[in-house]
Homo-oligomer: A and B are copies of this chain.
Amino acid sequence: MPSTQQIEISNGTLSAEASSLSMEAGRQCRGKLWSNLRNVCELLHIPCAATIEDAGLLFHHVQFKAGQRIYTIGQGFDALYIVNSGFLKTVSIDEFGNEQVLSFPMKGDVIGVEGIAAKKYTSEAVALSDCSLILLPFQNLVELGRTHMEFEHAIYSVISRELVRNQAMVSMLGVLGAEARVARFLVSLSNRYAEIGYSKKSFNLRMTRQEIGSYLGLSMETVSRTLSLLSEIGLISVYQRAISINDGDLLKNLRRIPPSKLRSKQLVANARALDANWHGASSSAMIN
């Protein structure tokens, strides 16, 4: 009872849809219900020794509709989740109720790790689309790790990996300007989409400009303007939430433009000069 999910709708657009389901038991099950250890290891990209495959262990699947909350701040921690499908965001909420987006988990990502220390979640996870998560009761994991050394190390790795990611984020926020942040964000998304089988060059944003801005430490308007700029320059194409990456390398290496005076048009020139694989008309054609 205390550890069951409190399905609640987000302060978003989907209240009507979500409310029709919100009274169900927290961890509802639909579609495929269970995953074994092998599935879990595959999702996490960790080697799964055959020796531990035997363990009859099965992990529960949990389905969430867009807008639903997986866990909330302060809720007692007892499980991690692996994203099996769908897209989410994790947010912290400051002392005055302002949301701050911390990550955009997708297939293969683990959420809830920050709860281990205080035995409470310190952020909340919200489904941006319908999601299927794998429930990993933390005690089970620990016990499993105790009997299988290589799995134990996997647990440590997963946690530590989060740390590395956050450090990269801190570096980015501290050093890079708006253009570079947005550019890297897109490259990062592109790579992650590719990893899970989507197109690396063309994909849909699952989050609003607002959420991107919060994640990158920018205002919504700056995100929008920057996307427009990158599009004008031809590095990407934007049509609402659909993004096409026209030049990933240039995007990835885009740096702070403040130190120098080279601006917009100058950049276009640079882009054309530096990029052999230039797709002339594709970008502007798609935009207008």
Interface residue ranges, A against B (CB under 8 Å): 92, 94, 98, 100, 102, 113-118, 122-123, 142, 146, 152-153, 155-164, 166-171, 173-175, 214-217
Q: Which residues of B contact A174 (CB under 8 A)?
A: 100, 173, 214-217
- Nearest opposing residue in chain B for A138, CB measure: B156
**Once the chains bind, are A117 and B171 in contact (CB under 8 Å)?**
no
Q: Which residues of B contact A152 (CB under 8 A)?
A: 142, 146
* Additional 10 contacts, C-beta under 8 A, given A94-B171, A98-B175, A174-B214: A92-B167, A100-B174, A114-B160, A115-B160, A146-B152, A159-B159, A166-B169, A170-B170, A174-B215, A175-B217
Rounded to whole Å, the gap between the CB of A240 and the closest CB of chain B is: 25
Rounded to whole Å, the gap between the CB of A145 and the closest CB of chain B is: 8
In the bound complex, CA of A157 to CA of B166 (Å): 17
Q: Which residues of B contact A159 (CB under 8 A)?
A: 116, 156, 159-160, 163
Given contacts A161-B117, A175-B94, contact A123 B167 (CB under 8 A): yes
Q: Which residues of B contact A122 (CB under 8 A)?
A: 164, 167
- Nearest opposing residue in chain B for A142, CB measure: B152
In the bound complex, CA of A160 to CA of B94 (Å): 20
**Once the chains bind, are B160 and A117 in contact (CB under 8 Å)?**
yes
In the bound complex, CA of A114 to CA of B163 (Å): 6
Q: How many copies does the complex hold?
A: 2
**Once the chains bind, are A113 and B160 in contact (CB under 8 Å)?**
yes
Q: Which residues of B contact A157 (CB under 8 A)?
A: 116-117
- Nearest opposing residue in chain B for A158, CB measure: B117
In the bound complex, CA of A248 to CA of B265 (Å): 49
- Nearest opposing residue in chain B for A95, CB measure: B253
Q: Which residues of B contact A116 (CB under 8 A)?
A: 156-157, 159-160
Rounded to whole Å, the gap between the CB of A219 and the closest CB of chain B is: 11
Rounded to whole Å, the gap between the CB of A192 and the closest CB of chain B is: 17
In the bound complex, CA of A9 to CA of B95 (Å): 42
In the bound complex, CA of A92 to CA of B114 (Å): 22
- Nearest opposing residue in chain B for A93, CB measure: B171
Q: Which residues of B contact A114 (CB under 8 A)?
A: 160, 163-164, 167
Given contacts A170-B169, A171-B92, A173-B174, contact A164 B117 (CB under 8 A): yes
